[in-house]
Amino acid sequence: MRLAVVFRRLTPAELGLVFCDEGYNFDIRLRSDATDAELIKLIKLMTAD
């Protein structure tokens, strides 16, 4: 997840980026100001049963 956040910060803001797992069980559009903690929280919400 840390790599996704770093990559997002290095990428132009006008370029949309999506973070997902290999099975595409979730997809999250990464904002340019996203944090590791926010990403972890969103993944937990999206994968909760």
Reduced to 3 states, what is the DSSP secondary structure of residue 19? strand
> 18: domain range?
2-47
CA distances from 24 to 14, 16, 21, 45, 46 (A): 23, 17, 5, 15, 12
pLDDT at 49: 72
* CA separation for the pair 18, 10 (Å, rounded): 14
pLDDT score of 45: 92
Task: State the DSSP code for 44.
Answer: H
Return the bridge partners of 18, or none: 29
pLDDT per residue as tens, the chain (49 positions)? 889 999 999 999 999 999 998 988 889 999 999 999 999 999 999 888 7
Name the amino acid, one letter, at 28: I
Q: How many domains does the chain have?
A: 1
